Amino acid sequence: MVLSSVSDELRATLRQRIMYMDGGMGTMIQSLNLSEEDFRGTQFQDHPCNLVGNNDLLSLTQPHHITRIHKDYLLAGADFISTNTFNSTRIAMADYAMEAMVYQLNRGAAKCARDAVREVEQLHGARPMYVIGVLGPTNKTLSLSPSVENPAYRNITFKEMAAAYEEQAIALLDGEVDVLMVETIFDTLNAKAALFAISKVLEYRDLDDFPVFVSGTVVDLSGRTLSGQTVEAMVCSLQHFNPLCMGLNCALGATEMRQFIRELGEFCETFVSCYPNAGLPNEFGGYDDDPDKMAAILKEWAASGLVNILGGCCGTTPEHISAIVAATCDFSPRVPQCKLGSFKMTLSGLEPMLVYEHSNFVNIGERCNVAGSTVFKKHILNDDFQAALEIAKKQIAEGAQILDLNFDDGMLDGVKAMTHFVNLIACEPDVSKVPLCIDSSDFQVIEAGLQCTQGKGIVNSISLKEGEEDFVEKAALIRRYGAAVVVMAFDETGQADTFERKIEICRRSYDILVHRVGFCPADIIFDPNVLTIGTGLEEHSNYGIYFIQTVEWIKKNLPGALVSGGISNLSFSFRGSNSIRQAIHSVFLYYACQVGLDMGIVHAGNLPLLKDVESNLRQLCDDLVWNRDSETVTEKLLLYAKKVKTSNDKKEDADILWQEKSLEDRLKDAIVNGIDKYIVGDVEEFRTTSGLPPLQIIEGPLLSAMGIVGDLFGSGKMFLPQVIKSARVMKKAVGHLTPFLEAEKTTGSVKGTVLLATVKGDVHDIGKNIVAVVLACNNFKVIDLGVMCPLEKILGTAIKEKCDIIGVSGLITPSLREMVNIAQEMSNRELNIPLLIGGATTSRKHTAVKISPKYPDLSIYVPDASRAVNVATSLVNGDRTYLEDVRKLYEKVRSDHVKTLQRREMVSLEYARTKKFNRISPVPPAPNTPGVTVFSSYSLSDVIDVIDWKPFFDVWQLRGRYPNRSYPKIFEDKTVGAEARKLFDDAERMLGDLLPVLEARAVVGLFPAYSEGDDVMVEWQDSLHPLHTLRQQVKTEKDDVYLCTSDFVAAKGEGDHVGMFSCSIFGAVALAQKYEAAGDDYNGLLVKSLADRLVEAMAEHLHRKVRMELWGYANDEDISVSDLHSVRYKGIRPAPGYPSLPDHTLKDTLWDLLNVKRTTGAELTTSYAMTPPASVCGLYLAHPDSFYFNLGQISKDQVEDYAGRRGIVVAEAETLLDTILGYETRN
């Protein structure tokens, strides 16, 4: 094979083996103990400044030392040596008054490295060795102010920094380096300036495929750079440059850096490098990880497939590199995965924003626009940028996911205003966490915004209005800055206002951007012009229809492109009637989103749910959008607007009776009975008439009422749905008093602070949310971090907020491993915070055996919400007797577990295979519809009849006593029956609201397959796809059969098949969040619990469709819903993660074969949880002899066999199968 470039050569090698960088240049220079005279050499005897410490200068004054260090690293096994140019920019060299020497410094450093390569080749023969030209971070930052008093101030500009990097890159390339590397990135905007400069230089020199590496620096265990970005956000910000390799270096040792290099590798598509320090600095400024210790840590990295390139940073020496090479050279390198390509769009602020194929509509906040908000404009014109910043904060709090910024006004210096505001935003994490949309008709203003934005944002906008060359020039610059772009439907002849003109301009723009400029289609957002309707002019009446038609056309004809629009433009005819405008927007978005509208500039806080739009108004808006009544609809809407006024009708009898109670009784009854109709008015009346400060009102009558709720719940006289309704009323009351509290700067006393989180990789939070409500009802302050929470966020927040308790939750078995990691890290940090463990897959046994030993005496299993209050109360009260009881109980559980393992008899895998299950019945017929079938819109109304309601009541902790446990008998239970009936009635009402707004999608695959030992081999598209399954090994009394899923599939040549499926419900999470944001936890939980029941019913309904139609092996099936729930049908649908298939990674094969991301939009997290949370997947086995079984525990011989079949190391297999191991592992 002929390799065309160094990049090709490196790609080939990096796929074959791990490669190695050198170690710390600074460490080796320090060991030389050079003097001021040594640094000056003969060339700089008369230089006016002290030069000791200017290590880069030694490439000119002491080149033999630098060359010697390079040679030592090459001889230790390094493939790459890095030039001694970390500070060789005119910015850093200004400290030594050596700006004029930058070119010579970089050329001289490159020469030292080249000389070392030649000398090693002469002594030891030729082997591939590469010189990396290093571009360091400089000693200034573009994203942070050096002045605490002036957060918008910067002491350097993007242009100045880019010019400095351009000068350095030119010199390094003239010095014939093989690779350029932007390293130790503590501010991503600095790195963007460096890559901006490098791209210019490479383009000028026609070096399109020159290899460039990028390496960031996580400054502490928060997992963020100094400028605040997460690792994932940094990748999003820099991906536009397509570096050959991305990685991390410096600041942390290998132990601390592992979790962050794992996160980077899970997210990026490039090769991955890491060169950590030799541990953390000790009190003497040295580093304590010796070569053997560091090599042992990195050996585990290599065994886990985390990296392609390893090396060392501060504190590492040639001895370190030699040890690392010896320890890791036999392991295969990381295989890059196409991760970012699985998203429809990736953007970032301080945090990544990932737009999935079936993500909900993305709200772009419109209020930071001087043309769209008079309040914002007034603040900017008055130079009150802090007040303007509050508007940005409010938009994000109201749901804006991207922030649009526009300063186009004749009274403003747009460049100055944009620069100042974006710099100010950078110092406000609550705002800068989201991506920015830099909006201007002046391209100089756009560039000013891009030069201050470290995340990956959007430019709004460019068009063909000024011609093709202008369009291409601006697009190329935007791409170089690393932003996505909005393209307006304008060309040289003007604005497109018909469907035909819109698609003509969009097609032309797309072809230019993709094929001429090289834009990624996912970074192109078309705005086909939302134009005003309802003007009374006939030619305007179809503008809404044209826009919707254009959206649909773009999605079908311009692959990968997204669509946006300025939604407010649509309703300008109705200015002054906000309720009408909001309803028009809601109706219009409903139809536009159905055909693919991805995002839009809207006032997120003023967008009503479609179901909340009054029916007559909804019909008028429909008529307006679809031009059904162009002559009169505008007049009808204006007439409707006049009728919208506050009603002063006579109060109903119930209202009068309520008012006759005393205020104290009204407050108590409202909270205890969950009545929210009057609470705000009653609280305000109590505040104004009692004269009590708001804190005393909360701690007096309100908390007293919640105390009654807590007592009733604890004694079993009140049930969870009632408690959550009570909490909803309490939140409304406290929400009304909060502004008065803030005005008085007072806070109330609480029992303690509890942090709750669903662990990283898991998206299920119903149980956690219930615990949060119950604890809050009992006067605990609850900090709920939500779902998918990384370890560092959990611990960092707990420490910062001084939490008394941490509670972690998870539904899937991989979450158990993350809980073990959290416990271990809490022990490593010597924390003393109790750790509560909860969730569907957790158990007292797992907590005692796996978690508690990592974090002794403080890890406590909580089985459900009803126990949480007593446990938390005991912990915050320092009840030593309780902790001692838990400790003794867990010791007994661990002892019993060991005895069980010792007592339990296991058979060998070889023996178990001789006792496999033998099928008697014939092989099922071939499917009627083989291959993949997609259900892009599954009718939920069809599945309601097969809902299994018992788990629904279980979630709400309503459990009847025999014989009234199941539905509908639970309604007859004397204790919970009445409340179960109320909950069921609420659920049925909610279902009526849910069905029109939820989207259900599914995909089914029916493939030829055969069993091969314990594997099922699936045949599809001329390839074999193995499903690795496991066999029972716990010895049975009869010792007659040991089951494996593959036993239910026929051998090769018998014509058998297997099925796979995935089904999901979209929209429930967003709807639940809207309820929760409004303080309505009850309806929020109701939505989530119903979505779970609906998707399970959907899976049941889909399985019946497969049995009777798609596969057709049971086309005469006639069984009741009760029989369905009792599994009285032919065949089974086992799911990964469940008793017979415990390995969740089987989902990877399902996702690949069914192309689930594309066909339904469902995703897998890093821990194999499915998103959206209301998702189910599994296999279909049709053999009539098949049945569900529990695998039980397995022995090490099977784990080793499984690892061999999977092509993974045994340790990884033990991790995947941790919950079913029949032996103790070393860890």
Which residues carry out catalysis?
762, 764, 815
- Written as one string, the DSSP assignment of 293-360 is HHHHHHHHHHHTT--SEE---TT--HHHHHHHHHHHTTSPPP-----GGGSSEEEESSSEEEE-TTPP
Contacts of 426 (CB under 8 A, 6+ apart): 143, 144, 227, 432, 452, 454
Cα–Cα distance measured from residue 543 to residue 499, given in angstroms and rounded to the nearest whole number: 9
* Residue type at 906 in one-letter notation: M
| Radius of gyration, CA atoms only, the chain | 33
Are residues 420 and 407 in contact, defined by beta-carbon separation less than 8 angstroms?
no
Query: Three-state SS string across 678-731, please?
Result: CHHHHHHHHHHHHCCCHHHHHHHHHHHHHHHHHHHHHCCCCCHHHHHHHHHHHH
Cα–Cα distance measured from residue 343 to residue 785, given in angstroms and rounded to the nearest whole number: 24
Cα–Cα distance measured from residue 346 to residue 354, given in angstroms and rounded to the nearest whole number: 5
Q: What angle do CA 888, 894, 896 make, to 5 degrees?
A: 100
Cα–Cα distance measured from residue 275 to residue 284, given in angstroms and rounded to the nearest whole number: 22
Under DSSP, the state recorded for 1047 is G
- Which two tokens mark 754? 């509890």
Cα–Cα distance measured from residue 1003 to residue 1098, given in angstroms and rounded to the nearest whole number: 12
Cα–Cα distance measured from residue 667 to residue 665, given in angstroms and rounded to the nearest whole number: 5
Within 10 angstroms of residue 150's Cβ, the number of other Cβ atoms is 12
In 3D, which of 77, 518, 112 has the Cα closest to residue 321?
A: 77
Cα–Cα distance measured from residue 32 to residue 24, given in angstroms and rounded to the nearest whole number: 13
- Written as one string, the DSSP assignment of 580-601 is HHHHHHHHHHHHHHHTT--EEE
Are residues 108 and 63 in contact, defined by beta-carbon separation less than 8 angstroms?
yes
In 3D, which of 1021, 1049, 1011 has the Cα closest to residue 924?
A: 1049
Cα–Cα distance measured from residue 1164 to residue 1179, given in angstroms and rounded to the nearest whole number: 17
In 3D, which of 297, 306, 293, 300 has the Cα closest to residue 263?
A: 306
Within 915-1035, strands assigned E span 931-935, 999-1012, 1015-1020, 1023-1028
Within 10 angstroms of residue 1227's Cβ, the number of other Cβ atoms is 11
Q: What angle do CA 805, 808, 812 make, to 5 degrees?
A: 170
Are residues 348 and 435 in contact, defined by beta-carbon separation less than 8 angstroms?
yes
- Which two tokens mark 1060? 């796979």
**Total length of the chain:** 1227
Cα–Cα distance measured from residue 479 to residue 513, given in angstroms and rounded to the nearest whole number: 10
Strands 1015-1020, 999-1012: pairing is antiparallel
Q: Which helix (H) or strand (E) holds 847?
A: none
Q: What angle do CA 814, 816, 822 make, to 5 degrees?
A: 115
Within 10 angstroms of residue 928's Cβ, the number of other Cβ atoms is 14
Cα–Cα distance measured from residue 210 to residue 189, given in angstroms and rounded to the nearest whole number: 22
Under DSSP, the state recorded for 1060 is E
